Every structure is written in structure tokens, then in C-alpha cells.
């Protein structure tokens, strides 16, 4: 078989992009319908085709080095190679816990990409710290990503969340996070916004189209720090030890209820106390 020739229009790779997203971008860059790209390149693919069989022909067609494509797309990483260079800490696309979300729109623009990029990610990656955008829960497309520069506690919570994963392991924090989020947001809804923040927050937060975020998304972003704190407490079990010793859960309530929180909804100003884990 003669060597494959690259398509006329190559495109930049993007870290942790999904295979389907890459194929869609490659087809669009070369003015092809996405469904016709692989048949045109004579690259067979069925639902049972192992992703790694596409690596060599797709790298040739895209005009990129095979190793670079392998490192960029998690589908091409060996599911058992979690300790190899380039694989440590990466999302595992084969796991049921894997999440697909739009990449930070400012990161893609900085990489010279004008199309939406869908990436594999993990539960703890909710904020792009470089561009201060909310890219996590509640975001269905890149235009919905919200600039949270005026929510400094939410920015700090991203680092706190990352440190919790390092301390307790991603598995324990991931298992604790959904219940912590459900518990805290349910409590807020029953308390009718005790901090009186939602209307204020929606007045200063906008997405990529200039629209206000929905009430549910605003709730998620503003109180993300408390949810992360509660997830860390549940993962570490310290609250159980203190509750048994004292006979009450006052310590737990104090950890997730910050009376100073409303004053931190601001564009600038003195920073709050540093993250004890960061």
C-alpha cells in the first residue's frame, strides 16, 4: 500500500481532545462532511474498532507525528499505562467516570483554534485558572463558559479541589463530590439563599455571548467553594471523628458556612485567608 498523503489542511492538536472532536475539526478544516472523512481516507472504523488502530493512518492524514497525536488524545493512551510519561494524571476515556466537556474557549483561541473543542476531563476540573473561566458543571457549550474573575473564592476552590485529590486520591474525592454538591445545594434551596448572593452574582457575571448565567449555574459557581470543602471533609472522614468525640456536628457546619462569604463577591480587594492545603 503506498504511503498515505496528508490532507491539504493540517490543524493544531489540543490536549485531552476527544477522538470524535478531532475528526470533526479535521473534516471541517478540509471542507469535508464529518461522516465522509474516514471512508475517504480508507480508514475503517466500526463501533468495535480499537481506537489505537486508527493512530498511524490518522496521524499520516493529519500531517502530525504519531507520538504527538497519541499524547494529545486520551483514546490513544493504553488503558493500563497510567504510570507512563505523558499518561500520569490524564483523564481515562475508557472509564465510566470519564467526562466530556467543551474546552476553555480562551485556551482554544490561544492555540489558534476557532472551532469548539470537546475534551476528556475529570470531576475536579471546573475552572480554567489561566483564563478565569468556569468550564465545569452546568456548561454544555463553550459560549456558556462564565468569566469568574469577580469570584475569587471560586478560583481558590479550584486549587483546593486539586490539592484534595493529591491528598486523598482522585477516587475518594470523586466519590464524595456528587453527594457533597447535592447536599449543599439542597440545603441552600431550602434556606432561600441565606447569603442573598444570587441576584448580586447574576448582575456581574456574563457568559461568552454577554448573557447572564442561569440561576442554577450561578448557584453552582458561587457556592462551589463550600461544596469542595464539604467533599474534602467527606473524603477525609475528619468530621466523623470530631462528631463522635463531641456528640454534635458543629465543627462540620462551621467548615462549610462562612459568614464573610458575601463580602468576597467583588471585582478587587484584599484576599481572604490562604487555602490551608495550597
Strands (E), the chain: 99-102, 118-121, 127-128, 133-134, 146-147
Tell me the pLDDT band of 261, cut-offs 50, 70 and 90. Answer: very low
Contact present, 122 and 91 (Cβ < 8 Å): yes
pLDDT at 54: 87
Residue-wise pLDDT tens digits, 186-195: 777 776 565 5
Exposure of 3 in the CB half-sphere (CA atoms within 13 A)? 5
- 66: nearest Cα among 156, 152, 6: 6
Tell me whether residue 14 is in a domain. no
SS3 state of residue 120: strand
Tell me the pLDDT band of 269, cut-offs 50, 70 and 90. Answer: very low
Length of the chain: 278
Tell me whether residue 128 is in a domain. no
Q: Select from 65, 89, 122 the last residue of a domain.
A: 122
User: What total number of domains does the chain contain?
Assistant: 2
Residues 226 and 177 in one domain: yes
Q: Which three cell numbers stand for residue 7?
A: 490532507
The residue ranking higher by pLDDT, 271 or 96, is: 96
pLDDT at 257: 61
Residues 118 and 33 in one domain: yes
73-to-34, 37, 43, 125 alpha-carbon distances in Å: 18, 18, 18, 17
How far is C-alpha 203 from the geometric centre of its chain's CA atoms? 25
Residue-wise pLDDT tens digits, 125-166: 999 999 999 999 999 999 999 999 989 999 999 999 999 998
Tell me whether residue 271 is in a domain. no
Tell me whether residue 278 is in a domain. no
The whole domain housing 257 covers: 146-264
Tell me whether residue 10 is in a domain. no
- 9: nearest Cα among 29, 27, 32: 29
What is the value of pTM for the model shown? 0.80
pLDDT at 255: 67
Q: Select from 58, 87, 122 the last residue of a domain.
A: 122
Tell me whether residue 108 is in a domain. yes
**49-53, 203-207, 237-241, range with the lowest pLDDT:** 237-241
H-type helices in 111-223, by residue range?
152-168, 170-191, 198-204, 215-222
* Residues 230, 184: Cα–Cα separation, whole Å: 8
Cα diameter, the chain:
76
- Specify the residue for cell string 489561566: 130
**Element counts in the chain: helices (H) and strands (E):** 12, 5
Amino acid at each position: 500500500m503506498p504511503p498515505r498523503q496528508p490532507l491539504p489542511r493540517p490543524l493544531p492538536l489540543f490536549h485531552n481532545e476527544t477522538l470524535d472532536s478531532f475528526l470533526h475539526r479535521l473534516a471541517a478544516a478540509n471542507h469535508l462532511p464529518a461522516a465522509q472523512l474516514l471512508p475517504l481516507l480508507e480508514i475503517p472504523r466500526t463501533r468495535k474498532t480499537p481506537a489505537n488502530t486508527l493512530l498511524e493512518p490518522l496521524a499520516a492524514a493529519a500531517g502530525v507525528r504519531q507520538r504527538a497525536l497519541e499524547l494529545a488524545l486520551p483514546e490513544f493512551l493504553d488503558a493500563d499505562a497510567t504510570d507512563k510519561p505523558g499518561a500520569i494524571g490524564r483523564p481515562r476515556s475508557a472509564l465510566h467516570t470519564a467526562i466530556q466537556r467543551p474546552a476553555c474557549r480562551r485556551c482554544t483561541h490561544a492555540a489558534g483554534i476557532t472551532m469548539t473543542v470537546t475534551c476528556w476531563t475529570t470531576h475536579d476540573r471546573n475552572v480554567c485558572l489561566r483564563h478565569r473561566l468556569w468550564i465545569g458543571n452546568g456548561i454544555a457549550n463553550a459560549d456558556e463558559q462564565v468569566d469568574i474573575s469577580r469570584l475569587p473564592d471560586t478560583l481558590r476552590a479550584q486549587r483546593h479541589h486539586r490539592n484534595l485529590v493529591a491528598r486523598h486520591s482522585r477516587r475518594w474525592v470523586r466519590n464524595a463530590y456528587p453527594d457533597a454538591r447535592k447536599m449543599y445545594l439542597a440545603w441552600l434551596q431550602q434556606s432561600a439563599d441565606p447569603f442573598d448572593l444570587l441576584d448580586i452574582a447574576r448582575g456581574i457575571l456574563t457568559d461568552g455571548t454577554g448573557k447572564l448565567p442561569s440561576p442554577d449555574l450561578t448557584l453552582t459557581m458561587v457556592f462551589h467553594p463550600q461544596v469542595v470543602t464539604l467533599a474534602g471533609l467527606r473524603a477525609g472522614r475528619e468530621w466523623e471523628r470530631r462528631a463522635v468525640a463531641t456528640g454534635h456536628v458543629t465543627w462540620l457546619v462551621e467548615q462549610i458556612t462562612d459568614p464573610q462569604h458575601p463580602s468576597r463577591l467583588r471585582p478587587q480587594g484584599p484576599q481572604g485567608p490562604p487555602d490551608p492545603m495550597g
